[in-house]
Chain A
């Protein structure tokens, strides 16, 4: 048996999948297109908003997808789903739902091997979030109606084991 364990970083081609999910989401839910700014790599995530949703990923890729947004942006998105009196509970829920939808939609291209957890949401602005296994995190800034949120992709490819008789 030959065993090969590689823990290469996320392929660059994976990012457009998430960019597509972002564009589709905002256009569909709000009718107002979002713009994504140039993604960049960071070793620690420091661009955190008032609410941060975390989706655990397992299967073909391992790690986390984070969606972090300021209160004002979540309030505006909530308005598009007929919630006109936002509370922190609703903001947490909305952040989680955005993260869940962006990650779930990514399975259209990444397939069912991209397995996602239910979201966990942090309220408040921690100074930083540690990335998955210390790997650099791709950060995609999302500009929508002059407001900025971020999708953060901290994933590595799952090591592949090749077996030969």
Chain B
């Protein structure tokens, strides 16, 4: 059985244009274990938060207004290349997942998911 990694020194940024999803992710990930958690509702706000917060871990939606997830991903990794980014998206085609992984995402989980699947994906990324 896998042991949960210590995330108490890590900062987490949750990015999704859906308030329901942001809240569900916050609850599912057991964010209280992280040093600090912030969220953003679109790619532009996510980049603003990213620049001042410099998170270690990001969950990132792809289909968002203002600035899409792929563009946000590229810019985040230019600012802080060691950020671990997990894509959380409804886009279920292989091409999208491959593109995101090629551009530097470390994990891709497709909506809908259970809290267990989400935490397993996060665990794999952080281990």
The answer to whether A and B interact is: yes
Q: Is the interface of A mostly helix, strand, loop or mixed?
A: helix
- Min CB–CB distance B94 → chain A (angstroms): 8
Given contacts A81-B24, A82-B24, A116-B63, whether A28 and B91 have CB atoms under 8 Å apart is no
Asked whether any CB of chain B lies closer than 8 Å to the CB of A97, the reply is yes
Tell me whether A111 is interfacial, beta carbon within 8 Å: yes
Given contacts A24-B112, A82-B27, A118-B64, contact A107 B20 (CB under 8 A): no
Cβ proximity bits B43-73 to A, threshold 8 Å, 1 near / 0 not? 0000000000000000000011100000000
Question: With the chains together, A24 CA to B90 CA distance in Å?
Answer: 12
Residues of A within 8 A of B23 (CB): 81-83
Contact partner, B112, options A28, A83, A93, A114, Cβ 8 Å? A28
Answer whether A118 and B91 are a contact pair too, CB < 8 Å, given A93-B18, A97-B21.
no
| Chain A residues in 8 Å Cβ range of B89 | 104
In the assembled complex, the Cα of A29 lies from the Cα of B112 at a distance in Å of 6
Chain A residue nearest in CB terms to B93: A107
- Residues of chain A with a CB closer than 8 A to B63's CB: 100, 104, 116-118
Kindly report which residue of chain A lies nearest to residue B22, judged by CB atoms.
A93
User: What are 15 A-B interface contacts by the 8 Å CB criterion?
Assistant: A24-B112, A28-B113, A82-B23, A82-B24, A90-B20, A93-B18, A96-B18, A101-B90, A104-B90, A104-B111, A105-B111, A108-B93, A112-B91, A114-B93, A116-B63
Question: Which positions 94-108 of chain B face chain A at CB distance < 8 Å?
Answer: 95-96
Tally of contact residues, A, Cβ under 8 A: 30
- Residues B20 and A78 in contact, CB atoms below 8 Å apart: yes
Q: How far is the CA of A115 from the CA of B17 in the complex (A)?
A: 17
With the chains together, A89 CA to B41 CA distance in Å?
14
Q: Does A139 contact B (CB under 8 A)?
A: no
Q: Which A residues are closer than 8 A to B by beta carbons?
A: 24-25, 28-29, 78, 81-83, 89-90, 93-94, 96-97, 100-108, 110-112, 114, 116-118
Spell out B's residues near A (CB within 8 Å): 17-21, 23-24, 27, 63-65, 89-93, 95-96, 110-114
Asked whether A93 and B111 contact (CB < 8 A) given A82-B27, A105-B92, A118-B65, the answer is no
- Report the Cα distance A109→B19, complex, angstroms: 28
CA distance A123 to B92 in the complex (A): 28
The 8 closest A-B pairs by CB, nearest first: A104-B90, A108-B92, A107-B93, A101-B90, A112-B95, A28-B112, A81-B24, A104-B91
The answer to whether A100 and B18 have CB atoms under 8 Å apart is: yes
Q: Name which of B19, B24, B112 has the most chain A CB atoms within 10 A of its CB.
A: B112
**Bound complex: CA A122 to CA B55 (Å):** 35
